[in-house]
């Protein structure tokens, strides 16, 4: 989700941030892909206030991952193709300044609330709250300075054959208008098979709403390689949530049958993307929440498969969440240059964000996102890579 939607540049300017990028190091070579080897840390850059931002490199089971302490951003993720050749398959920048000034949430951790809340308002236990609005009149991805624009405390770990990072951030009561002090822990794990698991946890001292997710932009052919319209996608969902012109859900749970939103059987993303459906016209493509058939589950279950016929790479996603936001990179416009030196145009990457539904606090028929003192928010998403 993204620039236009998405006044990221304004949010960064409001935060008063600027950055200086440092050269890359040899951390990737140091990790070597050995199972269970501790992640390697290197300085990536410095924010205007002097805060240092670090990059962590880890590898396991054929997957190589680079993560920034700024926003918990996945800067690169490399996996092999059918011939065993590795490529970075996520969009991002090679410098901190671009992440601060103009990133459309590339690879970031999103909070307190992933996706949109209409007019930035909701009422909880009789109290009305006004949130930071940063997408027209709406609040997007936690407001002007969401979790993606903070530096997280990172702790590396090895556990048996697993390797990973614990990321911690505490959001104060009233930050971006949200009630309660929210203590958040997100764990990135690479296992011996190369699967990437994300575990989210949060607690609060006051009733609040929470909806955490990851905003990775995928292109399985390789970052900067061109369109994702030939990627084949399946989503285990019979319904989706239509939106108004501001991309806020109307409250309807509409059937996908007979519409371009039917991905119950795998099909190329480009097959119906220009079908002229009213919902696609206002979103400039796909930018909607799919209502997963499985609902909320006790453990992650398979919900979507993405396959690139050119490289043979596949991505399977499992989650315990009730929704999946599929965004087809509609607002990439050629003004951003990625890690490989190529510009990103419309449809050059896509997002698959596991989540509760957008604007849930304002729709009683949507699954609740309320978290209360004494409760622990927990959710897990697993990415399995194949070829």
| Closest of 380, 384, 383 to residue 186, by C-alpha | 380
Per the DSSP assignment, residues forming a β-bridge with 47 are 19
CA distance 51 to 28: 23
Among left, alpha and beta (phi > 0; psi -120 to 50; other), residue 271 is alpha
Sign of CA dihedral 132, 136, 137, 141: negative
Q: DSSP readout, 284-337?
A: TS-EEEEEETT-S-SS-EEEEEEE-TTT--EEEEEESSSEEEEE--TT--S-EE
What does DSSP say about strands 343-344 and 267-268: parallel, antiparallel, or unpaired?
Answer: unpaired
Q: What gap in Å lies between CA 365 and CA 326, rounded to an integer?
A: 21
Is residue 356 flagged as an active site residue? no
User: For residues 291 and 238, what is the distance between their CA atoms, to the nearest angstrom?
Assistant: 7
160: preceding bond cis by omega (within 30 degrees): no
Exactly one of 215, 288, 356, 363 is catalytic; name it: 215
Can you tell me the distance from the alpha carbon of 177 to that of 129, in angstroms, rounded to the nearest whole number? 7
* Contact indicator for 291, 321 with CB cutoff of 8 Å: no
Judge whether 301 counts as a catalytic residue: no
Spatial separation of the C-alpha atoms in residues 347 and 349, rounded to whole Å = 5
| 141, 353, 356, 363: the active-site residue | 353
Query: Could you give the CA distance from residue 360 to residue 171 in angstroms, rounded to a whole number?
Result: 21
94 three-state secondary structure: coil
Strand-pair partners of 267: 233
Tokens of 127: 């109290």
Query: What are the catalytic residues?
Result: 215, 353
């Amino acid at each position: 989700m993204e620039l236009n939607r998405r006044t990221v540049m304004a949010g960064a300017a409001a935060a008063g941030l600027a950055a200086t990028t440092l050269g890359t190091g040899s951390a990737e070579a140091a990790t070597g892909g050995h199972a269970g080897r501790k992640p390697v840390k290197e300085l990536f850059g410095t924010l205007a206030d002097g805060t240092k931002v670090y990059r962590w490199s880890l590898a396991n089971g054929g997957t190589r991952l680079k993560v920034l302490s700024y926003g918990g951003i996945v800067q690169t993720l490399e996996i092999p193709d059918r011939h065993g050749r590795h490529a970075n398959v996520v969009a991002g920048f090679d410098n901190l300044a671009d992440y601060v000034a103009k990133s459309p949430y590339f690879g970031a951790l999103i909070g307190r609330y992933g996706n949109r809340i209409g007019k930035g308002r909701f009422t909880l236990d009789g109290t009305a709250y006004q949130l930071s609005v940063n997408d027209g009149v709406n609040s997007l991805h936690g407001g002007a300075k969401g979790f993606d624009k903070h530096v997280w405390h990172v702790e590396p770990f090895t556990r048996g054959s697993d390797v990973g990072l614990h990321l911690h951030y505490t959001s104060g009561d009233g930050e971006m208008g949200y009630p309660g002090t929210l203590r958040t822990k997100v764990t990135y794990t690479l296992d011996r098979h190369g699967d990437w698991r994300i575990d989210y946890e949060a607690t609060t001292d006051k009733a609040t709403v929470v909806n955490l997710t990851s905003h990775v932009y995928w292109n399985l052919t390789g970052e900067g390689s061109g369109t994702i319209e030939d990627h084949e996608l399946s989503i285990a969902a019979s319904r989706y949530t239509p939106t108004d012109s501001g991309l806020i859900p109307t409250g309807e749970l509409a059937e996908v049958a007979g519409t371009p939103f039917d991905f119950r059987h795998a099909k190329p993303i480009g097959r119906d993307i220009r079908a002229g459906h009213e919902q696609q016209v206002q979103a400039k493509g796909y930018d909607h929440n799919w209502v997963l058939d499985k609902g909320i589950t006790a453990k992650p279950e398979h919900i979507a498969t993405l396959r690139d016929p050119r490289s043979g790479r596949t991505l399977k996603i499992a989650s315990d969440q009730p929704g999946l936001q599929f965004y087809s990179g509609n607002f990439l416009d050629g003004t951003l240059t990625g890690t490989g030196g190529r510009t990103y145009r419309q449809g050059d990457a896509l997002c698959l964000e596991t989540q509760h539904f957008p604007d849930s606090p304002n729709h009683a028929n949507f699954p609740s996102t309320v978290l209360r003192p004494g409760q622990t928010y927990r959710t897990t998403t697993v990415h399995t890579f194949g070829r």
